[in-house]
Chains A and B, each alone.
Chain A
Amino acid sequence: MSKLLQINNLKTVFYTEEGQVPSVDNVSLDIKKGETVAIVGESGSGKSVTALSILGLVPSPGRVVTGEILYEGKDLLKMTDKEIKKIRGNEISMIFQEPLSALNPVLTVGKQIQESIELHQKKKGKRAKEKVIQLLNRVGIPRPEKVYYSYPHTLSGGMRQRVMIAMALSCRPKLIIADEPTTALDVTTQAQILNLMKSLSEEEGTTILIITHDLGVVAEMADRVVVMYAGQVVEQSTVYDLFEKPEHPYTKGLLDCTPKIHGESEELLAIEGTVPTIQNRPTGCKFHPRCKFTHEKCKEKDPELFTIKEKQKVRCYLHEKVIEERLK
């Protein structure tokens, strides 16, 4: 399979009064055509900023300083404003976390979906409207003719998210970035929306980059997982490897935090401490203050990303020895 999107050493920095703050620090990842990749991390781990960097929409005072983002071999970061506008919505589109705020309250749902169709496909008036109604039907909205004329506040949360998905799908993009698409929904609706996204991606062959902190969503959707912590990728593996044999202490911790039906413990586990704020990240391994396996080396130097298996990479010194031994 060929690579659709390849991010190399991406570094996005925010320029604040306290100086330069790297929100995304040397992130590299690639997404192949047709697969679903999940980026997992706590809030503040830089996962949303990574997504916005792809579309060139990092909010000020942030800026991508180094790295490249290759979309079908072309660097998105080097594109002119005009070129990237052709990509946005048309080739890469995005689904947002909170559908109510992502829809303009004073415009009807139909008008908003129609916008990008008119923009990218040069369809006008009646033909564009037909397309919108088809799309609404596609995402499972009952009575699409009526919903076309409704305002966002009259729809339920699940319906709104369906509208967002219809909007993202409108130009049949090759890549959809979904930024926590189910966080604002209740559990039953979550399942419906995830199923919808899954079936649509299978039918259309759309590649999905899903950003979430919910491991349930990951297990449901993803083929591959990228775990981020404090702006860095700490582990990358297939979804099966991740759940069966997580290698980074942070990933292990995350998995231990999910309650298990047959668990022995009554109490819910949590990782001690919190994610370091972006201004005072520790030296060395970013996770060492919270890690159970910390030793001297962790405090001094940031570990690199060790490839331990064909599709698994881990940023932890615990695996350095394993590799060294294997090399001997």
Chain B
Amino acid sequence: MKWVKMLLVSKVGLIGVIIIILFTFTAIFAPLIVPHDPTEVNLGKSSLPPIWLDGGESTYLLGTDNLGRDVFSRIIYGSQISMLVGVCSVLVAGLIGIPVGLISGYYGGLVDSLLMRIVDSQIAIPSILLALVILGFMNPTLLTIIFVIGVSSWIAYARVVRSEVLSLKEREYVKAAKTMGVRHSFIMTRHLLPNVFSSIIVISTINVATSIITESSLSFLGLGPQSISWGSILSEGRDYLATNWWVATFPGIAITVTVLGIILFGDWLRDVLDPRTEV
């Protein structure tokens, strides 16, 4: 209840949550929402403008592309990929980054230097470039895309978790746990991890947004999964921008709004989870 109340107070957070809920629902119930099969080619209906322009047809809400496929239906289906890639790649990134950060920060010394140099060298390479290189010799399926995006974004977790652990491990309660004879692994998982959890949640939301953008960029470059995604619709529409502007515009708007919604939500979460802002 406390959360709902806090959400109603913050307009920004509320907008974010509404967008995320809408996004999730369209992704889950896509087959029920779409008026047309998104892959159905209908050359007789090609290049129809959106419904509110001259020549628009009532069942083609956002018009059709040059092959007569319904843009609206394609965007709805595209949300599934974005959602899947966004969430799963963040999980992959977290699974790599969080343990690395914990171990690095807790043990310090040589282990820390070694792990952090790996992180540093990865920071030097732009993540999209890294993804492109890996995809160069891997088949771009949905799974590999998730893996690649995860691998190219785990460093944020490692860095943040490490820096927090560095200060947390000097706390008295860690010392107290040690005087109790508690094992290192136990201190890391039971004492330190719950303390960095709020930061992890905040990075995760922001990371979902960036992962969606990365996936769209990869699809735009033709290295995305071989299914309908916002990036690939955008890329196909680019060639017809002068005549059929709607094909490229609407998936673009979908990406922007979704990412914006997630970032707004993440911002709000950061404020809420920060104990210093608690009244």
- Hey, which bits of chain A sit against chain B, CB under 8 A? 55, 57, 84-90, 93-94, 96, 98, 101-107, 115-116, 119-120, 164, 167
Contact of B172 with A93 in the complex, beta carbons under 8 Å: no
Report the separation of the CA atoms of residues A103 and B171 in the bound assembly, to the nearest whole angstrom. Answer: 9
Name 15 interchain pairs, CB-CB below 8 A, sorted by A.
Answer: A55-B178, A55-B179, A57-B179, A88-B178, A88-B179, A89-B179, A96-B176, A101-B171, A101-B173, A103-B173, A103-B176, A107-B191, A115-B177, A115-B182, A120-B181
Taking a contact as CB atoms under 8 Å apart, the answer to whether A119 and B175 are in contact is no
Pick from A86, A88, A90 the residue with the most CB of B within 10 Å: A88
- Residues of chain B lying within 8 A (CB to CB) of residue A88: 178-181
| Assembled-state Cα–Cα distance A55/B180 (Å) | 10
* Residues on B facing A (Cβ under 8 Å): 171-173, 175-183, 186, 190-191, 194-195, 197
Residue of A nearest to B174 (CB): A104
- The interface residues of chain A lying within 8 Å CB-to-CB of B197 are 106
CA of A115 to CA of B175 in the docked complex: distance in angstroms? 14
Complex CA–CA separation, A93 to B195 (angstroms): 24
Residues of A within 8 A of B177 (CB): 104, 115
Given contacts A57-B178, A167-B176, 5 further A-B contacts (CB under 8 A): A84-B181, A89-B181, A103-B176, A115-B177, A115-B190
CB-defined contacts of B190 to chain A, threshold 8 Å: 107, 115
Q: Once bound together, how far apart are the Cα atoms of A102 and B171, in whole Å? A: 7
- Secondary structure at the B interface, as helix, strand, loop or mixed, is helix
Chain B minimum-CB-distance residue to A153: B275
| Chain B residues in 8 Å Cβ range of A85 | 181-183
In the complex, the chain A residue whose C-beta lies closest to that of B177 is: A115
Determine if A105 and B195 form an interchain contact, defined as CB atoms under 8 angstroms apart. yes
Please indicate the chain A residues that have their CB under 8 angstroms from the CB of B191 in the complex: 104, 107
Given A101-B173, A103-B173; A94-B179 close (CB under 8 Å): yes
Cβ contacts under 8 Å, A119 to chain B:
180-183, 186
Report which of A57, A87, A120, A164 forms a contact with B175, defined as CB distance below 8 A: A57
B181 near A116: Cβ-Cβ < 8 Å:
yes
Contact, CB under 8 Å: B181 / A86: yes
Query: How many Å lie between the Cα of A101 and that of B195 in the bound state?
Result: 13
List chain A residues, Cβ under 8 A from B173: 101-105
Q: A87 CA to B181 CA in the complex, in Å?
A: 7
Q: How far is the CA of A57 from the CA of B182 in the complex (A)?
A: 13
Q: How far is the CA of A98 from the CA of B194 in the complex (A)?
A: 21
Closest chain B CB from A241 CB (angstroms): 32
Docked-complex contact B195 and A104, CB < 8 angstroms: yes
Interface contact A93-B194, CB-CB below 8 Å: no
Q: Is the CB of B182 within 8 A of A93?
A: no
Are A102 and B178 within 8 A (Cβ)?
A: no
Partner of B194, one of A101, A106, A116: A106
**With the chains together, A103 CA to B194 CA distance in Å?**
13
Assembled-state Cα–Cα distance A89/B179 (Å): 6
Q: How far is the CA of A106 from the CA of B171 in the complex (A)?
A: 13
Q: How far is the CA of A86 from the CA of B194 in the complex (A)?
A: 25
Instruction: Please list the 9 inter-chain residue pairs (A to B) with the smallest Cβ-Cβ separation, ordered nearest first.
Output: A89-B180, A88-B181, A89-B181, A101-B172, A94-B179, A116-B180, A102-B172, A106-B194, A85-B181
Residues A94 and B176 in contact, CB atoms below 8 Å apart: yes
Residue of A nearest to B168 (CB): A104
Task: List residues of chain A with CB within 8 A of the CB of B181.
Answer: 84-90, 116, 119-120
Residues of chain B with a CB closer than 8 A to A101's CB: 171-173
| Docked CA distance A263–B201 (Å) | 62
- Which residues of A have CB within 8 Å of B194? 104, 106-107
Alpha-carbon separation in the docked complex, A90 to B179 (Å)? 9
- Shortest distance in angstroms between A256's beta carbon and chain B's nearest beta carbon? 33
In the assembled complex, the CB of B113 is this many whole angstroms from the nearest CB of chain A, namely 15
Question: In whole angstroms, what is the CA distance A57 to B170 when docked?
Answer: 12
Asked if A115 meets B195 with Cβ closer than 8 Å, knowing A102-B175, A103-B173, A107-B190, the reply is no
Interface contact B180-A93, CB-CB below 8 Å? yes
